Amino acid sequence: MKILAKWLALAILLCTTPAKAALDIVITEGVDAARPIAVMPFVWQGPGAAPQAIADVVMSDLIRSGTFKPLDELGLPQRNIGALAQFQANAWTSVGAEALVLGTVKPYGPDQYLVNFDLIDLVKAQNQALKGAVSPTEFLMDSRQTVISAAQFRQYGHRISDIVYEKLTGIRGAFLTRISYVVVNHTQKAPYQLMVADYDGVNEQMLLRSPEPLMSPTWSPDGRRLAYVSFENKKAEIFVQDLYTQVRTKVSSFPGINGAPAFSPDGKSLAVTLSKDGQPEIYVIDIATKAIKRITNHYAIDTEPSWYPDGKSLIFTSERGGRPQIYRVELNSGKVNRETFEGEWNLGGSIAPDGRSMIFVNRTNGKFNIARMDLNTRFMQVLTSTRLDESPSVAPNGTMVIYGTTHQGKQVLAAVSTDGRFKARLPVGQGEVKSPSWSPFL
């Protein structure tokens, strides 16, 4: 039954994900625990065939969130309805789902479409139907009307998903976000490519291609720029690239390591690792003035700086205790505290957007997996069971972590929910995929 459910989920995805998607998600765990929801294909009210299926985007978003599992539309009691007015609560009393999404799309002008959607609280509707007093406005959770162009169908689908997700969970949806990552294809002359795609892998765009390694892409807080490391001049250098204008700025090119950039929450500085003074140490660079400030000073390796959301502290990986562990440094006082103690190694940490937990790579019994630690209780949970996990990056709403792992001898991206229940893999056809970074809300 469990296997059947997984295959069903996979089948739904295969049907709904457009063929042009570069990254097709494979859910490996967590479908059973998801909450059932009904998503009705949006009714097309124009001539000929509908331009694009918005409901499919919503459906795959909800599956990928790990929180919801859409019911098979063939089993729904009403078909081909697009608005609350057509909804008959009495027909839905035996449907085991908490909500219903339905809507319509109709031509509105040249390259313009009017999209309506309604979100119905099925539990409330069922209760009212059983009592015999139905007042539809009471179970309408949300209702919106928007005009979009043909190119905006996917984007608006993600927007609907955001609304549905937030109404039902209380958490802001992260469906209108992007990811960046590095693709390496050793059969090509310039094997290293820096890519950006929608969070679901669709609309993949190449930002930079190089014969030498590209590393550590990371987003500016406004989602407009990426910082990354390039070896194009046969040494590590840090660049900041504007996604829209394609303008590249070299921010750091000191002797030795220039690595692990992380934008400050105000977007004005980069925390980086430099080895210009001997060992790798943490510095903060002002992007505009290029002024640098040294933060750590220790003969052991210090690297992988990541900001606290308040911008007043950094966490970083240090070997000062003999093995890599995560430490916190207060920028004003320079005071350093060790944060992790469990397991052999802990490294590559970042603080979740709510500031309450930390996500990092844990090594236990020689195995590298993604882990989460509650910063109050200090309880650590290993989230993944994949191989050689690295580079975790948390979604801006804190619900999901995207990371690099190894599957069947190849580097691929994978995702895990921050509660560890939902697990998915994002395989690609060619080359190795690594160093994912999730954008802020866009």
Partner 1 sequence: MDLNKLLKAMLVALPIMAISACSSTSESETDAMGSTNGSGSELNGGIQTGGVGGMLSAEEQQRQQLDDLRKQQIIYFDFDRSEVQTEFAAILEAHGTYLVEHPSVRVLIEGHADERGTPEYNIALGERRAKAVAKYLQGMGVQPSQMSVVSYGEEKPLDFSRTDEGFGKNRRAVLVY
Asked if 273 interacts with partner 1 (CB under 8 A), we say yes
CB of 258 to partner 1, least distance (A): 10
CB of 334 to partner 1, least distance (A): 21
314 is an interface residue for partner 1 by CB under 8 A: no
Q: State the minimum distance, in angstroms, from the CB of residue 257 to partner 1.
A: 6
Residue type, 180: S
Closest approach, Cβ 296 to partner 1, in A, equals 12
388 near partner 1 (CB under 8 A): yes
Considering only residues 402 to 441 of the shown chain, the ones binding partner 1 according to CB under 8 A are 406, 409, 434-435
Site track 335-354 with partner 1 (rule: CB under 8 A), x = hit: ----------x-xx------
| 172 vs 276 by CB, closer to partner 1 | 276
Q: What angle do CA 177, 182, 187 make, to 5 degrees?
A: 140
Q: Which listed residue (116, 230, 317, 340) binds partner 1 by CB under 8 A?
A: 317
Q: Is 257 in the site for partner 1 (CB under 8 A)?
A: yes
Q: Which two tokens mark 187?
A: 């059969």
Taking CB under 8 A as the criterion, the residue among 30, 103, 221, 324 binding partner 1 is 324
- Considering only residues 176-205, where is the footprint of partner 1 by CB under 8 A? 186
Interface with partner 1 (CB under 8 A), residue from 65, 216, 241, 439? 216
Contact call for residue 384 and partner 1 (CB under 8 A): no
Cα–Cα distances (Å) from 245 to 195, 210, 241, 372, in that order, read: 16, 19, 8, 37
With CB under 8 A as the contact rule, the residue among 280, 353, 398, 440 that binds partner 1 is 280
How many whole angstroms separate alpha carbon 15 and alpha carbon 302? Answer: 47
In the bound state with partner 1, the residue whose beta carbon lies nearer, of 131 and 186, is: 186
Q: Rule CB under 8 A: which residues touch partner 1?
A: 186, 213, 215-216, 231, 234-236, 256-257, 259-260, 273, 275, 280, 301, 303-304, 317, 324, 345, 347-348, 361, 363, 368, 387-388, 390-391, 406, 409, 434-435
